[in-house]
Amino acid sequence: MEETPPEKTTQRLRPPIRNVGILSWIRANLFNGWFNTILSLVFAYVLFLTIPPFIEWAFINSNWVSTSEECKASSGACWSIVTANIRFILFGFYPHDLQWRPLLAVVILVLLLFYSQNRKHWAKSLAYAWAIGLFSMGLLLKGGLFGLVSVDSSNWGGLPLTLLLSVFGLTAAYPVGIILALGRQSNMPIIKSFCIIYIELIRGVPLISLLFMSSVVFPLFLPEGMSINPILRAQVAIIMFTAAYIAEVVRGGLQGVERGQYEAAESIGLNYFQSMRRIILPQALRIVIPPSVSILISAFKDTSLVVIIALYDLLKTTQTTLSDPKWMGYSSEAYIFVAMIYFVCCFFMSNYSRKLEKELDTDL
């Protein structure tokens, strides 16, 4: 201390070092005070009671590739129900020999999604890539061209159906929701009241009733002999439903953009569409990334409700597998597997939204 001569200006000081060792962390966070200590001990005991048996069941005593008889003989988890029926769970009643086609379609979709993740790739070429990708996915599923055997859409099922309903549903619902939100803010009374009525009506009914209406009521209005593909009908119901929720979230975002931004956009002469497209929506949509993603995630999971109009989505194919007498009683394993698929998709969405939020944050 003696060696350093006193300086005239105030010294730059480093922040004090805080204790960061594991032991001190444990003491500071788990055992500070008698109440927290008791809580920690009780919780540790509960973990001790549950975790080891679960690991034993799921990994140590489990069967991964076996017949159902071997499963019955062991006490562990019977993952064989998944491995033995994986093709039915994932692809439903799609003809067995042709299942490479939905598989390829899903692979194309996943690749496109991963490529689109990076905002640097957002250019016109990406739009073309999606157009080509969607066309080839449709072609692969439906067939009937280029020597591919035609497969009726009533045989589509499992993962491709779930992904189809949600990816199309969410991407179509978002722009519709934005238009509804803008309409609700419009000065034109007819457009405004139409949007309000639409949003309130749709939000006032459960998705299930919309799906029922699309499959039972709607066909009554069609001329005789005409029918619309049930997948398409479910798709439209999902889009309409999700759009109403998106609209309200986006409206919140529009209100969150300062009045001055609208005025500044107007004062440099931008017209309504230009100022919305260039100034207001980019800011409003960034504000509402977290609630939008919540809606998208729940809409993704809600696609499983299409079982009630007899579509074989991922959850329904799993249930069907469970009704096979050979595999009865292994529902935990099958449902855990499906839950993992849903979880991976949802986790991906919420992670990506967080990344996007950070990237778009420009007020530093």
Partner 1 sequence: MNDNLTDTTNQDSPIITIKDMHKWYGDFHVLKNINLKVHKGERIVICGPSGSGKSTLIRCINRLEEHQRGKIIVDGIELTNDLKNIERIRVEVGMVFQHFNLFPHLTILENLTLGPIWVRKTPKKEADETAMYYLEKVRIAEQAKKFPGQLSGGQQQRVAIARSLCMKPNVILFDEPTSALDPEMVKEVLDVMISLAQDGMTMLVVSHEMGFAKSVAHRVLFMDGGEILEENEPNEFFGNPQHERTQLFLSQILN
Q: Please, what is the angle between helix 159-184 and helix 124-142, to 10°?
A: 130
78 pairs with which residues across the strands? 63
Name the minimum Å distance from CB 292 to partner 1.
Answer: 17
- DSSP state letters, 286-336: HHTHHHHHHHHHHHHHHGGGGGGGT-EEHHHHHHHHHTSGGGTT-HHHHHH
282 vs 329, which CB is nearer to partner 1?
282
Q: Assess contact for 293 and 354: CB atoms under 8 A.
A: no
271 vs 298, which CB is nearer to partner 1?
271
Residue 316: phi, psi to the nearest 5? -70, -40
Rounded distance between C-alpha atoms, residue 11 and residue 324, angstroms = 77
Rounded distance between C-alpha atoms, residue 84 and residue 133, angstroms = 31
Name the minimum Å distance from CB 360 to partner 1.
Answer: 7
Name the minimum Å distance from CB 179 to partner 1.
Answer: 20
74 vs 274, which CB is nearer to partner 1?
274
Name the minimum Å distance from CB 10 to partner 1.
Answer: 22
265 vs 296, which CB is nearer to partner 1?
265
Contact residues toward partner 1 (CB under 8 A) are: 258, 260-261, 263-271, 274, 278-279, 282-283, 286, 360, 362-364
Name the minimum Å distance from CB 266 to partner 1.
Answer: 7
**Rg for the chain (alpha carbons), in Å?**
27
82 vs 250, which CB is nearer to partner 1?
250
Name the minimum Å distance from CB 185 to partner 1.
Answer: 17
The single-letter code of the amino acid at 214 is S
Q: Assess contact for 265 and 279: CB atoms under 8 A.
A: yes
Tokens 């609630």 map to which residue? 291
200 vs 266, which CB is nearer to partner 1?
266
